[in-house]
Chain A
Amino acid sequence: MDIFLQQIINGLTTGSVYAIVALGYTMVYGVIQLINFAHGEVVMIGAMVAFTVITALVGAGLPLPPIVLVFAGVLTAVPVCMAIGYLLERVAYRPLRHAPRLAPLITAIGMSIILQHLALLIWGRDPRAFPQIMEVTSFNLGGAAISSVQIVIILLSVVMMGVLTWFVYRTRFGIAIRASAEDVRVAALMGVDANRVIAATFIIGAAMGAVAGVMYGTYYGIAHYTMGFTLGLKAFSAAVLGGIGNLAGAMLGGILLGLVEALGAGYIGDLTDLCQWPVFGGLLAERCEADGHVILLGSNYQDVFAFLVLILVLVFRPSGLLGERVAERA
């Protein structure tokens, strides 16, 4: 099996999910310069709701094809998350619209904790396993394996990115969102209601987040009330990597982050195998002869890469790959 190609495929899969989640962060940031830290939790709730619906349908014993089950799960999760996204904006952030920037930021962290613990109360602390409803088929692609789930995740993400881009660049309301991102007060002079635009960014981001949550949960076969935290932070890192506030940046940042993470996880074991370094060869000769490898950092260190990327971007290119300006308001 070709490790490089395999990790590219895996990276594209998780990267697609990061990109979709990152779009939720970046759209909201673009219009109101707020990092909605509760977005990761919205994604988690999307996965939880879908899993619950699918499990219930399977339990009911209806003879439904798997694709219908998943569809029903997604179709329930999306409106639930849209409602949560709207409520977050309406209840938590709108009253703080003109407050100093630290206030909504801390509120966002608070909302994240509240949603996480609500999920804990509803779904418990045990991970939810994705019901075995379908056979996952794998295809051979130049020596690497790509599963049907991966194909669906990548294609669905591309479609969502395409639709969002069309919406934001080709529709009247989409142009109004971009105009508001530049200057809400001037856009208001053209008749654009800022509240509607801001609410829309939350709702659209949450809808995509719900789908991303289901994709992520399906890919790993598991959903847990804390899954939104790491996923959210990684997607946020992706948004910063691409240039926060920039839609194309979020997409690019997500894919890149997924690739970096997958390749990092794929090679970190080999690179940190101490037996290949003569310096350690002598010291560890016994163990190297016995096991063949003494691996310092295994692939379980993959989460490190996302945050390493975040730190590097913040140090060397704070405006991100495609970002035009750095937010100077503190």
Chain B
Amino acid sequence: MLATALLEALNLEVHYGGIAAVKGISFAVEEGELVCLIGANGAGKTSTLKALARMIPAQGEIHYRNARLDRLPSHDLIRHGLALVPEGRGIFARLTVTENLAMGAYHRNDKAEIALDLQHIYEMLPRLKERAAQVAGTLSGGEQQMLAIGRALMGRPQLLLLDEPSMGLAPLMVEKVFEVIRTVAAQGVTIFLVEQNARLALQTCSRGYVMESGLITLADSAANLLADPRVRTAYLGE
């Protein structure tokens, strides 16, 4: 167990009926790191994140600071500083952009600080400000992804879990989303990023894990993974 680990999962397992999606994996994320988990479709990446966020039942231990996440209900996690931007964004389509962002700060009571954070989000993501009063379902895919990230940031997380932020977005939009992710990381938020776009993910992160059929098969610095011939053939299309 790493002394400085912010998040550490030990022997994490997820089963759907009789099928094992995650087969006992262990990994750690240190404070301030930007770590990614890459792998093909169906490797168990999203299940891993959902298990971390307590959205699905799982076996194994999840340590987060001094807390055991595996013993907490999902709705307590944000109070411990952990936020997830779910796969497919999970925005509230019938709520306005502002209401979505307000939901991100639901657990907070510091009204003045919330208003400040809202301003910061709108500065960082000006498109959202233009559409503040609009119902979120009318936003484009990229805007929805920005909204989902903005909403998570409204909770002032210390650890942000991101599930496939590039999914279904045009290349230009993907660039913008990753720019925002880098900005957020630079502000000191620890990020654990799950991504199918391995090249982009490894170019953004400092460290990475490779997941295959429910197991972590490689763990190394992003630079080493980018150079690794196995990664290059399997995930970078070379």
Residues in A lying within 8 Å of B, measured CB to CB = 172, 175-176, 178-179, 182-183, 185-194, 324
Contacts and interface: CB of A to CB of B under 8 A. Distances in A.
Given A182-B93, A185-B55, A190-B103, 10 more contacts: A172-B102, A175-B95, A178-B92, A178-B95, A178-B99, A183-B90, A188-B55, A189-B74, A189-B84, A324-B94
B165 interface: no
B77 interface: yes
Interface of B: 53, 55, 73-79, 83-84, 86, 90, 92-95, 99, 102-104, 106-107, 151, 155
Nearest to A246: B94
Please report whether the interface of chain A is mostly helix, strand, loop or mixed according to DSSP.
helix
Contacts of A324: 94
17 contacts: A175-B103, A176-B103, A176-B106, A178-B99, A182-B94, A185-B74, A186-B86, A186-B90, A187-B92, A188-B75, A189-B53, A189-B55, A189-B77, A189-B84, A190-B104, A190-B106, A190-B107
Contacts of B74: 185, 188-189
B237 to A, nearest CB: 33
Contacts of A182: 92-95
Query: Which of A176, A190, A194, A324 has the most B CB atoms < 10 Å from its CB?
Result: A190
Contacts of B86: 186, 189
A176 B104 CA distance: 10
B84 A183 contact: no
A190 B151 CA distance: 9
B78 A190 contact: yes
A233 B220 CA distance: 63
A176 to B, nearest CB: 6
Contacts of A186: 86, 90, 92
Contact of A191 (B75, B90, B95, B151): B75
A190 B83 CA distance: 8
A189 to B, nearest CB: 5
Contacts of A185: 55, 74
Nearest to B89: A186
B89 to A, nearest CB: 9
A162 B90 CA distance: 30
Contact of B103 (A187, A193, A194): A187
A304 B53 CA distance: 51
Contacts of B95: 175, 178-179, 182
Contacts of A187: 92, 103
A188 B72 CA distance: 12
A192 B94 contact: no
Task: List 7 A-B pairs, minimum CB-CB distance, nearest first.
Answer: A191-B107, A186-B90, A188-B74, A188-B75, A191-B78, A190-B106, A182-B92
A278 B95 CA distance: 59
Most chain A CB within a 10 A radius of its CB, from B74, B78, B83, B104: B74
Contacts of A191: 75-76, 78-79, 106-107, 155
B83 A189 contact: yes
Contacts of B75: 188-189, 191-194
A175 B102 contact: yes
A264 to B, nearest CB: 34
A192 to B, nearest CB: 6
B79 to A, nearest CB: 6
Contacts of B92: 178-179, 182-183, 186-187
A305 to B, nearest CB: 32
A324 B107 CA distance: 30
A186 B83 CA distance: 10
Contacts of B155: 190-191
